[in-house]
Amino acid sequence: MRRVVVTGLGLVTPLGPSLDASWTALVDAQSGVGPITLFDATAYRTRFAAEVKGFSAEPFVAHRKLKELDRYSQFAVAAAVMAWRDAGLADDLPESVRNHIGAIVGVGIGGLDTIERHHRTLLEKGPNRVSPYFVPAAISNMAAGQVAMRLGLRGINYCTTSACASGAHAVGEAFRLVQRGASDVMLAGGAEAAITPLGVAGFNAMLALSTRNDEPLRASRPWDRGRDGFVMGEGAGILVLEARDHALARGARIWAEVVGYGATDDAHHVTQPAPEGEGAQRAMAEALRDGAIDPARVGYINAHGTSTPQGDVQETRAIRAVFGAHAHRLAVSSTKSMTGHLLGAAGGVEAAFTALALHHETLPPTINLDDPDPACDLDYVPHRARRAAVDVALTNSFGFGGTNVTLALARHG
């Protein structure tokens, strides 16, 4: 079983279209939430979201190929190219090496914008006007496929689709492949672009979204008494996972080490977490067991922390159940307070944020935590980032259908 390290990171988020821009805004406690500009949301109960701003795919995708990629795939390819370059991997690697490099990109919904646009074409102009690029752009595995084509990756390639745990499952499964020697290098993470008329209408119909239209910057407020639902976000986060000996042999810079992976299901409800966060408890416990980690070594948890009434309480209860008295000595924060909830991309983005937190010895804050819910009584790093050298950190991702993932990362040294 090989040790697995993170050697490259790529981010496209509501905080910025690059790794540096996203991290800088995160530690500065900035919010990426604002009025929806991607479509006319005047008639919607929720009229704001965390959109990616200032993004252009053309530095990463040839102009002639843009029509083949839904917005979520454009985000994925951009983040993957950034991560590849950040890892210092050469563009001219021989095929024999590329045969052992793969990509797993999680997505919760897929090409929803493409589906909606082509459905309008079908209704308005008829079936013969639907583009031949419709299916290739819409299907959920195409982000991973486009990443492979862009970078010439000839190893294992597929998509994990597990709602809001998709990106975290992708990182966990890639970790296993490298750990067990099936691949030397994997690109893994998540991508999502579901801020569309149907996407927002669907989550509004479930009463899942915040409706704080008068102050959208304050709408995502995990663990706050005034929280009223999550804020939709979009973007991508891709990590380069590499066998440690392989990384050291080529002199790569190492952001962090992946040391544990836990995955469970509640088997309880379509959307609601199990009582006491039972499935989340087991995911965290499995990640700790997988990495042979003493719970007392964990100093930080990048929580799922969606700003939903039930989810925040149950995750807090799960953390207390797993860590006991130590739960009140470790730091917990929700970067979703700034990025919104990136759905299938969240796990990849938040794994990248966790690696950065370990490397830079800086814990991202939870903003908008002005009136803590009495049921949520942990140290949530309120309002501003905190300098702290942490040995081990967890990142949690939970999704509809009761799926739960915890990744454990350690500071490399």
Structural domains for the chain: 4-249 (3.40.47.10), 258-410 (3.40.47.10)
Assigned token pair, 336: 């979703």
pLDDT at 388: 98
Contacting residues for 271 by C-beta, under 8 A, at least 6 apart: 206, 208, 400
pLDDT at 252: 97
Rounded to two decimals, the pTM is: 0.97
Rounded Cα gap, residues 246 and 3, in angstroms: 10
Q: At what angle do helices 346-360 and 166-179 cross, to 10 degrees?
A: 60
Residue among 70, 52, 259, 300 nearest 171 (CA): 259
CB-based contact 36:14 (threshold 8 Å) = no
Contacting residues for 381 by C-beta, under 8 A, at least 6 apart: 331, 332, 333, 363, 364, 365, 366
CB-based contact 366:379 (threshold 8 Å) = no
Kindly provide the b/e burial profile for residues 197-209, where b requires at least 16 CB atoms within 10 angstroms of the residue's own CB. Answer: bebbeebbeeebb
Q: Which residues pair with 387 in a beta bridge?
A: 362
pLDDT at 413: 78
Specify burial of residue 21 (Cβ count, 10 A radius: 0-12, 13-18, 19+). middle
Rounded Cα gap, residues 18 and 286, in angstroms: 32
Q: pLDDT for 89-125, tens place per residue?
A: 998 899 989 999 999 999 999 999 999 999 999 999 9
pLDDT at 278: 96
Specify burial of residue 260 (Cβ count, 10 A radius: 0-12, 13-18, 19+). buried
Q: pLDDT for 285-318, tens place per residue?
A: 999 999 999 999 999 999 999 999 999 999 999 9
Q: Which residues are catalytic?
A: 164, 304, 341
Contacting residues for 43 by C-beta, under 8 A, at least 6 apart: none
Residues of the chain with pLDDT under 70: none
The sign of the CA dihedral 296, 298, 300, 305 is negative
